[in-house]
Structure 1
């Protein structure tokens, strides 16, 4: 084995050299709120530390790396995908299977789904929120905010989002509430919702106990848990006194969402262990080839390797220094550990969220020092999937998906983008793509070589991202335009 291959082996933990399993944890993510992905990162880090898998990847619907990129990132040919959602519904039964490449649509069977995609055996599980152990996670959240409570005078409200479009989404909440109701730990247990009846706005009328503990059955912190719920219910903190309600004074205890509790990591592991029925699998050759190409490029350039706005410089001991190109030569930079690099570079200098990491807004003032075997992970933390896509492009193996195909795949609220004409897509691109480092191959723009072959700005974009899809939808709502008869609607 050559030196480069030996260094690549250190990426894996808990697996024999060259064989293992890939675990992918999927979150919803957000275009607006960086905290939405924090729970996914924490659970991924905790599972990674247990050493049960050759690698643990994260992916998102509204951020990078996207669902469509994930299989290309997987090191091993055996892949298990867990949706980090608290309930079943439209996303777990339709969106995620569709984006991964499954033909299945509808409720996922208890044992999950298995198929072969892009040469990999892929197993897709149900969301962790349906696991029976989630009832105890709810109780743990209640204990944190309320401490010791009197069962005879305390009500528990399990608060779900709810939706009028898919009644299946409430099943996990109802099951968890029923399990807690049968244990006699509270005088009453109610399952209430934001967007369907029974609504949480009516908590005072639907409960009788003087003390009420509200536990959000949400996967992460976000707009609802941090803003709309406290505002709409008049909550002023973890404990709120309501002295003048009909029936007497009441106290409301408001906890953090269940999905951010550390015990969820154990639930995820148990869910995955139930599906591990195949032997360890070999590495994907393209994965290894991409890593070797990155190390060669990083070492062959005298001044280091430039990737978009990042400078990768070799260190005397064999490792690498990563930083913003604008900070080249600076010594007063904040050292950032590899485990924190994605969160650190996921915000602009002003603290704004960067859901698409290749936007021209990389913050300055940081540096990350990594060993050779960590370089791939470090680049991925800053620019998810750019290595794998650049390597595939250099080898003529990167599929390019035209806008029309991406639009046809949209459903729900985003199905409207199928009506967008070229002018509308072009206007959306002017506000989204012009600020991105990637070259939109899907729109027909040419790309010669990539950063692996010496062009720092050579970052391919094979398919329109979720940010552009959202921008096209916004464009449709503000500029209604019907394509002329026979007009092509791709760009």
Structure 2
């Protein structure tokens, strides 16, 4: 049976909860991905990635549950694989189909509220970086593509680690607004920094799950993994 490993960053200060959450996530994808054995590992949990990789056959693939193809995906992860030549797929955040999947979900949410997109504002809350322009560039490009699919009144992009910050992006909006956390997993930034920023902005709209937890995303990852092995 083909094997796949979903890898996420995890939480260095408290690795176990994030490791367990990712294992549950991978179990859901495994259920959806007939014919592929799907496991998981975070980079933060000591020794877990190395043990999982050691158990993988050479034709396995790794799916990075990240929002940018940055240092963790292109440098840290390959280094942790040591001498194993295991294929690393593109991360979730840069997949061309992601704006379409998210727009389908957002369209359903808008309809459920009886909101028209033309009267609704969206806050795209992303990580950003004080060291690299790549994470914010990915988020901005996603916003551009999403704007082509849904005619929101406005899309405001804000970041945790660089300006414009989330509190700025979410300020002075009506209650007819959505906040979409542009994150793969609900880690510390989503559970702590985001609520703090939205509170500072007095944001009164609806906060959505992180992109990685939206409907259709797990199904999409399962399809990506299944199609990868069919191509091979």
TM-score by length of 2: 0.83
Give yes or no for the alignment of 1:197 onto 2:163.
yes
2:3 counterpart residue number = 22
List runs of 5+ in structure 2 lacking aligned partners.
none
Give yes or no for the alignment of 1:132 onto 2:85.
no
1:95 counterpart residue number = 76
> Which of these two proteins has the greater Rg computed from alpha carbons?
1
Residue 192 of structure 1: CA displacement? 1.6
| 1:243-302 per-position Cα deviation (integer Å, ceiling 9, x unaligned) | xxxxxxx74221221112342212223433453333xxxxxxxxxxxxxxxxxxxxxxxx
The one of 245, 252, 257 aligned to 2:210: 257
2:55 counterpart residue number = 73
1:40 counterpart residue number = 22
Residue 214 of structure 1: CA displacement? 0.9
Work out whether residues 181 and 209 of structure 2, in 8 Å CA contact, stay in contact via their aligned partners in 1: yes
Residue 23 of structure 1: CA displacement? 0.7
Work out whether residues 38 and 220 of structure 1, in 8 Å CA contact, stay in contact via their aligned partners in 2: no
Work out whether residues 27 and 59 of structure 1, in 8 Å CA contact, stay in contact via their aligned partners in 2: yes
Residue 160 of structure 1: CA displacement? 0.6
The one of 114, 136, 150 aligned to 1:170: 136
- SS of 1:214's equivalent in the other structure is strand
Work out whether residues 47 and 265 of structure 1, in 8 Å CA contact, stay in contact via their aligned partners in 2: yes
- SS of 1:196's equivalent in the other structure is coil
CA shift in 2, pair 1:197/1:49, >3 Å: same
Residue 226 of structure 1: CA displacement? 1.8
CA shift in 2, pair 1:267/1:151, >3 Å: same
- SS of 1:275's equivalent in the other structure is helix
- SS of 1:164's equivalent in the other structure is coil
| Structure 1 CA distance for aligned equivalents of residues 204 and 40 of structure 2 | 39
Work out whether residues 138 and 215 of structure 1, in 8 Å CA contact, stay in contact via their aligned partners in 2: no
| Structure 2 CA distance for aligned equivalents of residues 65 and 263 of structure 1 | 31
CA shift in 2, pair 1:171/1:275, >3 Å: farther
Matches within 5 A, 1:210-229: 211-229=176-194
Work out whether residues 35 and 221 of structure 1, in 8 Å CA contact, stay in contact via their aligned partners in 2: no
CA shift in 2, pair 1:27/1:39, >3 Å: same
| Structure 1 CA distance for aligned equivalents of residues 3 and 205 of structure 2 | 43
| Structure 2 CA distance for aligned equivalents of residues 209 and 54 of structure 1 | 45
Residue 155 of structure 1: CA displacement? 0.8
List runs of 5+ in structure 1 lacking aligned partners.
1-19, 103-116, 243-249, 279-491
| 1:96-116 per-position Cα deviation (integer Å, ceiling 9, x unaligned) | 0111136xxxxxxxxxxxxxx
RMSD, aligned CA: 2.8
Paired residue total = 228
Residue 209 of structure 1: CA displacement? 6.1
| 1:29-73 per-position Cα deviation (integer Å, ceiling 9, x unaligned) | 224164433552233112322353452221111115533223211
Work out whether residues 174 and 204 of structure 2, in 8 Å CA contact, stay in contact via their aligned partners in 1: no
CA shift in 2, pair 1:252/1:260, >3 Å: same
Give yes or no for the alignment of 1:62 onto 2:44.
yes
Matches within 5 A, 1:46-445: 46-50=28-32, 52-63=34-45, 66-74=48-56, 76-101=57-82, 117=84, 122-139=86-103, 140=105, 144=109, 147-204=113-170, 211-234=176-199, 242=202, 251-273=204-226, 275-276=228-229, 277-278=231-232
Residue 25 of structure 1: CA displacement? 0.9
1:485 counterpart residue number = none
| Structure 1 CA distance for aligned equivalents of residues 170 and 41 of structure 2 | 39
CA shift in 2, pair 1:143/1:39, >3 Å: farther
Residue 136 of structure 1: CA displacement? 4.1
Work out whether residues 102 and 211 of structure 2, in 8 Å CA contact, stay in contact via their aligned partners in 1: yes
| Structure 1 CA distance for aligned equivalents of residues 169 and 128 of structure 2 | 15
CA shift in 2, pair 1:164/1:183, >3 Å: same
Residue 83 of structure 1: CA displacement? 0.8
Work out whether residues 83 and 127 of structure 1, in 8 Å CA contact, stay in contact via their aligned partners in 2: yes
| 1:220-261 per-position Cα deviation (integer Å, ceiling 9, x unaligned) | 2222212222123217xxxx9x5xxxxxxx742212211123
